[in-house]
Every structure is written in C-alpha cells, then in structure tokens.
Amino acid sequence: MASIRLEHLRKEFGPVVAVEDLSLEIKDGEFAALLGPSGCGKTTTMNMIAGLEVPSSGAIYFNDRSMNDVMPGKRGVGFVFQNYAIFTHMSVAENMGFGLKIAGKTKDEIAGEVRKVAELLQLTHMLDWNAGRLSINDMQKVALGRSMIMNPGIFLLDEPFSNLDAAFRAYMRAELKSIQRRLKQTMIYVTHDQVEAMSMADKIAVMYCGQLYQFGTPEEVYNQPLNAFVARFIGSPNMNFITGDFLVEDGKGVLVQRDGGARLPVNGQRQQLLEVNSAKAGLILGIRPEHMHLFAEATPETLWNGTVYAVEPLGPKTIVHVQVGQDMVQVSSPPAHRPRVGAPQWIALDLQYLHIFDGDTKKVIR
C-alpha cells in the first residue's frame, strides 16, 4: 500500500490554470474524496497522481518516493472511470482476469484471484456470462473488479457511480467502503456529489476553481467550514446565509441583518473577535437549517420573525422556506409541522452553531 503527498502541485493548459498550488497528504490506507463542482480541478489532480497528466510544477510522492518521472504503468495505481469500458465480447471472468493474463499469470492463478474478487463483489454467479448482456450496474462492478484484482497500492476512482441508478449507487457506496476497509487500500474518489464524499471518505478535499479550499474529515468540513464556499457546498439543504453588520450598543455586541433588521446578540468572546475583524463589506452569517426552530408565536427563545414562502414535505422532515427581511432561509422541521404559506413564523437559533464569515474574504471568523 502507499501514502500520497502532493506538494505545490500546479497544472496549466495554455492560459488556463486547472490546478493551483495544491498541497495535501493522504495517509496509507486512507479513503480520500476530491469534492467540488465541474471544472474545479479534481479530475486533473487525479490524472496527475495516475501519471496521465504531467504537472506544470510541483511534486507527487508515493511513500516519500517522487513519482514525477515514473511512467503510469509503473506507479502501482488502479483506475476506475465513470465509463466502465469493459470488453463486451468476453465473459465476466475473462474481463476480470484480463490484467493478470497480460501480466503472465497461469490459468489456475487467474481463476483463483477472479473467484476471490467475484465473491467480494457478489459476481460469482455471473462469471460465465457474456459481459455484453449485463446491466450497467453490473458492468461497473466488473470494471471495479478488474482493477481490484491487480491489487494496486493506490486505487483511483473517477465518479464511478454517476451512471448508476440511485438505489444501486447507495448500495455500492456501502459496498465500496466495506471493501476498502477489508483490503486497506489507499483510495482517492473523485465526485461532485457531497453525499458520496460524506458517506464514504475518511478525509475530504473540497476544491473550487483549481484551488484546495479545505481538507479534513467529513465532520470538520461540515461543522467547521473554513470559508463560505465550503459551508454552502457541504450540506443538503444548504447552509442559510444572511448579510449583516456588527454593531456595539451600550457595550454589547449585536449582529444586524442588512435590509431587514433581524438581530442576533453575540457573546463576549465573539464580540472581541468581531471588533478586531469587522469587514468593510460587512459580515455573512451562516446557520444550517437543522439549527433553526420555528414557532407560531413569539417566545423568549425566538430571535427572528418572517413569513412562510414555501413548504416541502420530505418524509422524515419538512423543509420550510421563510422570508426574513430580504433574505430567504430554510428551516428543517419535524414531518408533521406544515405551516400555511403566508403565515407568520418566529425563529429560534442554536447560536453555538452560528458561523460568521468575512464579507470581503469570505473566510470564517473564529
């Protein structure tokens, strides 16, 4: 197996900078996800790790050995793509054993390894089937098995489940994570789907416009976002944002919504931070829908009030859209709570989960 270290990695395609000054370390046996919207540089980063793209500058290390001048076939990397690309004229067993055959293994060795991997992926009953008759779901499992059977030290997966149906994607997420734990392989998984990243990865690298915005555990990127982009990109429904200003009234700090007047008190520690870090463009207040609570009447706990704009019943919860001044917020409520559109609502907030971002830099203020 192998650890991976990227140091100041940069990739240019003419005038376009696809990856800029990317540094991170993935430990041996760790499952890491590269997460971000299309065009953020995640696939380019994976291709440089695999050797399919040459960095413009920077270094790639496997187990402290430089890979910059090592050919792709010599890096000990397994690759699974979004398009399964299996040989449809071959059987499932022939597809899975193809790499071992090229490597010169005997028929008995190939058959033994094929059966072992087929059991992991629950493909044993299909080994004699022609691959051309398989469903897309099973074709992707065969493509996964074909890479697994080579026992690479590093496993790279570029959105392998994006073509699968929703139910099978959920099944394969659990299966892949279970397999990775058993094999203890270092895996890098490229995705734009935060659910895939959050549910499978030990660490998540959130990327945007070729830059690394945050690298941490799923809990860290969700609960402690370093900037407004990470806070917005991670979480469904999205984090609520309200633009405001910091004021001191009678010695006490308060956050006041722009163009709305909603107010939030701040504690002494936060007041000291804001007095030092008050931004010219104001502040961005962020709070997740599950940390807000609706009431039909004002109570001592409620801090904001607004009007119901829309109600989304989602089975285990109801998402209520509330107009607060000029801003729209989403509140996660119990499934039975379905207030009437146009009705007034009062909102209590768990202030310990309030995030404050600099309006200029969009970085969190802590």
Over residues 298-334, the pLDDT tens digits come to 999 999 999 999 999 999 999 999 999 999 999 999 9
Of the candidate ranges 155-164, 207-216, 222-231, 353-362, the one whose mean pLDDT is the lowest: 155-164
Of all residues in the chain, the percent with pLDDT exceeding 90 is: 68
Angle at 323 between CA 321 and CA 329, to 5 degrees: 50
Could you give the CA distance from residue 145 to residue 172 in angstroms, rounded to a whole number? 13
More confident residue, 49 or 1: 49
pLDDT recorded at residue 233: 96
Each residue of 42-68: pLDDT tens digit? 999 999 999 999 999 999 999 999 999
pLDDT recorded at residue 315: 92
The residue extents of the domains of the chain are 4-233, 240-358
Considering the entire predicted model, what is its pTM?
0.89
pLDDT recorded at residue 190: 95
Each residue of 185-211: pLDDT tens digit? 899 999 999 999 999 999 999 999 999
Longest dimension (CA), the chain: 83
pLDDT category of residue 345 using cuts at 50, 70 and 90:
very high
Of all residues in the chain, the percent with pLDDT exceeding 70 is: 99
340 touches 308 (CB < 8 A):
yes
pLDDT category of residue 335 using cuts at 50, 70 and 90:
very high
Each residue of 247-286: pLDDT tens digit? 888 888 889 998 777 888 888 888 888 887 765 668 999 9
More confident residue, 239 or 144: 239
What is the average pLDDT across 77-100?
88
Q: Which two tokens stand for residue 237?
A: 């429904």
Handedness of CA 264, 265, 267, 269 (dihedral sign): positive
Q: Say what the alpha-carbon torsion angle 228, 233, 234, 238 is, to the nearest 10 degrees.
A: 90
Q: State the residue for tokens 């030092």.
A: 276
What is the average pLDDT across 239-251?
91
Q: At what angle do helices 166-183 and 136-148 cross, to 10 degrees?
A: 10
What is the average pLDDT across 131-150?
89
Q: Which two tokens stand for residue 262?
A: 């909603």
pLDDT recorded at residue 29: 93
Could you give the CA distance from residue 51 to residue 58 in angstroms, rounded to a whole number? 13
Does residue 162 have a pLDDT over 80? yes
Q: Which CATH class is domain 240-358?
A: mainly beta
CATH 3.40.50.1370, domain 4-233, yes or no: no
